[in-house]
Structure 1
Amino acid sequence: MSISLETPYLDISDPSFAMQSEQLREAREQSWYARTNYGIAVLRYDEVSKLLKSPKLSQGSGKWPDHNGVHGGLFYDWWTKNLLVLEGEDHHRIRRLLNPAFSPRMIKELTPRFQALAEELISNFIDNGGCEFIRDFAEPYATRVLAILLGIDESEWPTIARLASTVGLALGVTFKRDLEKVDAAVGELYEYAEALIKDRQQQPGDDFVSRLVLASRDGDRLSDEELRNALVLLIFGGMDTTRNQLGLAMQSFMRNPEQWELLAERPELGGKAVEEVMRTNPTVTWVTREAVEDFTYQDLFIEKGTTVHLFTQSSGTDPKAFPNPEMDLLAENPPHYGFGGGVHHCLGHFVARADMSEALPLLARRIANPHLTGGDEWLPDSGNTGPIRLPIGFTKRT
């Protein structure tokens, strides 16, 4: 790989590395890419847009365990076989069979339940003048939405949240240290998913899991293993990322209080709020690809096998593409890549957009002046990020 020594270098495995830092902004101004300890990082919007769709790059997340010295175990086996990392006909076939279950119509029909859930959770803490936002809202909301979608009892949400959070540790830079806990959580999720599949095979209903179990295209069906892997991905991805993204949304609005007031006045901007938060402060801070052949892009020769990280937050705030990169609910901006892009665009984006676009305006209409009160804790800023604890104070709106 031909890289000049003058090319910026970013140590993205350092827990203190920050995506929204002067170091990264200077690197993006200097060059469209940077060297990292995991390959190269693409920093600007135009290059991320083009390379996300390049047939010369394949999904690279499959190598994430190997990059961290993990070459076997339950997580490794699940990760290397799930839709997120499959390529070619395997990916196309499973996505084709999963697609009908993610019906926008079905998700829209669930909107009143999402609204009622958000109102219930807010009412539990609104008179206190403060809350621990992750514990009291983001985590139960994200997980109970998932329970509603899966057609399971909402009272089971603490178990789902615990397991999904633990699996989420695998996508951070402390992965190898947490491997034993991660593998144990995957094992429990396997058992949970297998019991759910067996139940729906015997007693199908109108829920998401039943749709998956019954899904068939041209006589083709998902095997029990493919169903299990898909459900584990949905449980992990649907809870962990939405919880993190809601926490990051609250952080963004606390930094931009005028946008919070605008959302309170105009709740119809809930969908736009989701897009702006994911553009400027996404939980998935990079999308990983791998070069499937030698090729040259602009001034850079990229050797086959090179890991290429496409930085979503950096590209989403690139001043070359966004003259005003700050959060703005009234701006007309190009599409962001918080849900990935190309053939690996997030399959569950309809769900995430629907539940968050209901939650954020309801929060804004009932809570004024949200602010940090101290004691917040955060995941590392690389890979999947977000707050672990987010204590906030606020004024109750009358």
Structure 2
Amino acid sequence: MNGVKFIRENGGLARQLSGNDHISGLIVYGESDVPRRLVLSASEVEEFALNSPVLVYHVQEFFRINEGAKLYIQSRLMADWMYTEIKSLQNLAEGNIRQIAIYDTSLSMGMINSNVSNLQQVAVELSNQNIPLSILLAGPLMENDIPALSDLHNLNADRVSVVVGQDIGGKGDYLSRRNGIYRGVSCIGAVLGAVSKAKVQESIGWVEKQNLVSTAYPKPIEATTEMARELDVLGFSDGTKISDYTPAQLQSIHEKGYIFGTKYTGIAGSYLNDSFTATKLTSDFAYIENNRTVDKAIREVNKVLLPKVSGPAYVDPDTGKIQASTASALESICDDVLDQMVRNGELSGYKVVINPDQPILKTSKLEVVLRLVPVGTLREITVKIGLTLQK
């Protein structure tokens, strides 16, 4: 029909989310240098589309999943695989980055374990400065790499996760094929968006909340076909589709601790298989949400205890140990911030313990013990069903 057609667009007001849990970082290695900066929307990086298309794509994907978040970005032509740029980007953000994605075009299957270890070292160094973060790693993989991937649960890198998922049919697939040789760009931007969108206690695999499919990108002039909705057709960063694999093969990749997109029968959309970190499953920090919960508690408790450093600590004149009232006062200020995390649903419970039997006059040191009860995650639900003559 003839007439005037209006299309209502969203995002022009650039409204920002509250809090800091969504503040994220993204570094791409292997494209033209883009200096460190903060971006608040995908439109702010359009000028880099020609020379840094992968960076722009992952920024777009991040904001597609979690509009209103804050993202610090950088692109480097070369990587030294020590990833010192993470520290520089965290410094620019004044320590506020909670999760960061690293896409490295030079990454190969044989380098995954060593690069994960290097990233873990960076994360540990930042954690020792009380500015912890979670790290995602991705890169292009070659044909037949996926079945031969090593088991990440044999590593000891509980702050690092490896993303091998890929869009097949949308812009991610188009960028991967644009040079005639398939070099997967992965879906790490969308995964980073999912992490920033989730509350610290939530798994990025939460089906009810984390559908990755929303819209399709406009078709480039040189493209011959229309693009599918992004991440509606799923695969791996070697260009294979998840439909190319048997359920047993997909389960094997899942059990090795990698993150990728998956489908569920009976519900539309695409979802992440889980939130693994590169460590043994028996670890308390085997999943991203475990790290993010503890990291938030560290930041919040540090915020209230730091002003007390080098302050007076009164002692019992009869024992020379810290006064019980002083210990109780310090426990109380820790209680306040952890109480808030419980009210926010980020913790199930906690206990703060300061043993008053500590020789403060001799050591000038005080030990505080925090015991956190996390929120569980329903990773598998078993339903017993059968026919009967009566209920």
TM-score normalised by the chain length of structure 2: 0.24
Structure ranking higher on relative contact order (CA contacts 8 Å, 6+ apart)? 1
Please state which structure has a larger fraction of its residues in helix. 1
